[in-house]
Homo-oligomer: A and B are copies of this chain.
Amino acid sequence: MFAKRAGSSGRAAGAWLAVAIAITAVAPAHAAGEADLAPIRAEVAKRHGEALARLRDWIAQPAIAAEDRGFPAGAGHMARLAREAGFQHVQVIPTDGKPGVFATLDAGAPRTVGLYFMYDVKQFDPAEWSSPPLEARIVDKPDLGKVLVGRGAVNQKGPQAALLAALHAIRGAGRKPPVNLVLVAEGEEEIGSPHIGQIVRRPEVLAALRRSVGVFMPAAMQDAEGVVTVSLGAKGVVELELVASGEKWGRGPSKDVHSSLKAMVDSPAWHLVKALDTLVGDDGNTIAIEGYPQPRPLGAAERAMIAQGAARRDEARTKQQLGVKRWIDDLPWPQANERLVSQPTVNIEGLVGGYTGPGGKTVLPHRAVAKLDLRLVPGMRKDAAVAALKAHLAKRGFGDIEVNVSGGYDPTETAADAPLIQAQLATLRKAGIEPLLWPRNAGSYPGYVFTGEPLKLAAGHFGLGHGGGAHAPDEYYLIESTHPKVRGFDGATMSFVEYLYELAR
C-alpha cells in the first residue's frame, strides 16, 4: 500500500488502528440467511486448491511500477482474472502511467457494487526473505496456522483472490452473484496512484460506478486476535521532496566542494535546514505553514467513536509495540487518539544530503533533500496544501527550494449510515464479530476518486481473514487458521460471499 490502510499490517503494524482490542464474539455463528449459502460454502471448500493455485500464480508474476517491472503483463493478467471470474465486459485502460483495468459483471441484480483492486505490489529484496517472495510457499506460523508467504500476499493479492474465489464459488453453486459488480483496478497504487483519476473519470467508468451503492477494496481486516475495525475514511496524503541546491539557489556550489570552503561559500544544506525550520513550531508538531488549509474539527459522533475505541484498547501494549514512551504533548490516551484521527501532519520521512556513509567526509554538499509526507484530514485538499507550502517558502525567502510532489491525494470519508458500511456491520455481526467503528485511518488510500467529486460514493475496505508484513519481508496471508476467531482463506472467501448477499438485501 502506498500509505497505510485498513486491512493490512506492515512494518508499522497496529499503527493506523489505534483502536484494536480483542472483542469476544457474541452473536451465534449461524445467523439468519446462513442456510442459503451452504451450497456456496461447499463450492468454496471444493475449489480451495484451484483458488490457491490462482493466487500463487498471480504472486509469481509481480507488477512493480517503481521498477517498471511486469507491465503491461500485470494488467493483462488482471483482465484475465476478471474475465475468468465472470465479468462479461473487461477493458484494459491506458493512462499516462501504467494501464488500469475496468470490468463489469451484470448479474441482472437490482443493486450494483463497485470494487477497487490494485494489481501492483511493493518492491522487495529476496535476500531479506526467509521464503522466496515469488514462490508463495505455505509455511507454519505459530499461533496462527498455515500462511502463504509472498510479495502481495496480503497487500493486496490474497484478499482480492479470495473475492475472486467467492465469485467462482457462487457460479459453481449454479447461482448468479447477488449484486452487479463494477471493477476498477490500477497498477500504480504503490507509487501513490498518480493516474487513478484517468481510469475512474472516463465516462463509461463514471457511468458504471454511478449505479453502485459504493466501492470497496478486498482486505484482510482481522488482526491476530480476530478483531475487526471498520473505518469511515482515511487521511489524504502528499509525498514530496524539498530540494535545496546551489544551482537553483544561485548561492553555494554546483557540485560538492571541500568543506574548508564553508568560510566563503554558502551552504545549500543549511539553507534547507532553515527552510524546514519554518514549517513547524518548536515542538516539531504544530504546523506553521502560512495560509495552510485548516482541518475540520472532530464532530461529537467522531469523538464518541474514538473514546470508545481508546477505552477498549491497551495503551501500554501499543506503546510497547511502537517503542514509544510518551505521546505528543504528553497527551492522555484518549486525547492522543483524537490527535491521531483529527490532525494533519508534516512529517520528515528522510533527510539526505552530502556524505551519508559511515564516519565523516569533509565536503560542503551542493544539494540536500528532505523527503516529507503531509497527511490531510477532511476540510483540506492536496492542491491547496501544496500551493500553501510553495507560497510560504517563497515568502520566507526559500522560493528556490524545489517542491517536487511525487504522489498523493485528498482525504476520504464515508458516512456511517451509508448502505456500504451498514452492510459491513451487519455481515460482521452475523459472523459473530462486534466491530469497532473508527472515524478515519491516520494513513491514506486513494478512496478520494470514489468519495470525492464527481461520484461522491461511499467507499471502504472489507474482508475477514488476516495477514501481515505488507511492504516488509515475509509478507503473509493466513490460509488455514488455528485461531477460532480468525478466518483462513476459505473463511475470507465466505466473508465476501456473505457481504455481497448482505449488500443485495
Contacts and interface: CB of A to CB of B under 8 A. Distances in A.
Interface of A: 2-4, 10-12, 15-16, 18, 66, 191-192, 235, 237, 239-241, 246-247, 250-267, 269-274, 276-277, 280, 282-285, 322-328, 331, 336-337, 339-356, 358-366, 368, 371, 373, 375, 406-407, 441-444
B270 A280 contact: yes
A409 to B, nearest CB: 13
Contact of A407 (B16, B347, B360): B360
Contacts of A251: 325-326
A68 to B, nearest CB: 12
B353 A365 contact: no
10 contacts: A3-B362, A239-B362, A254-B324, A263-B344, A266-B283, A269-B348, A349-B355, A350-B361, A350-B363, A360-B406
Contacts of A342: 263
A56 to B, nearest CB: 28
Contacts of A349: 259, 354-355, 360-365
A340 B15 contact: no
Given A267-B284, A324-B253, A350 B355 contact: yes
Contacts of A256: 11
Given A2-B362, A262-B346, A267-B285, 7 more contacts: A240-B360, A262-B285, A273-B276, A348-B354, A349-B361, A350-B356, A351-B354
A381 B74 CA distance: 63
Contact of A261 (B12, B252, B264, B352): B12
Nearest first, the 3 A-B pairs at minimum CB distance are: A12-B258, A270-B284, A254-B323
A374 to B, nearest CB: 10
A251 B284 CA distance: 11
B348 A368 contact: yes
Contacts of A339: 263-264
Contact of A443 (B258, B340, B361): B258
A354 B254 CA distance: 25
A143 B251 CA distance: 33
A375 B262 contact: yes
A271 B348 CA distance: 11
A322 B253 contact: yes
B260 A235 contact: yes
Nearest to A265: B324
A440 to B, nearest CB: 10
B265 A322 contact: yes
Contacts of A441: 260
Contact of A4 (B15, B260, B277): B260
A342 B444 CA distance: 52
Nearest to A352: B356
A231 to B, nearest CB: 12
B11 A258 contact: yes
Nearest to A12: B258
Contacts of A283: 266
Nearest to A247: B323
A353 B360 contact: no
Contacts of A358: 66
Tell which of A250, A251, A351, A363 has the most Cβ of chain B within 10 Å. Answer: A351
A365 to B, nearest CB: 7
Nearest to A355: B350
B282 A274 contact: yes
Contacts of A346: 262
Contacts of A250: 325-326
A147 to B, nearest CB: 22
Contacts of A327: 264-265
A248 to B, nearest CB: 11
Given A264-B339, A323-B255, A371 B355 contact: yes
Contact of A375 (B4, B260, B267, B366): B260
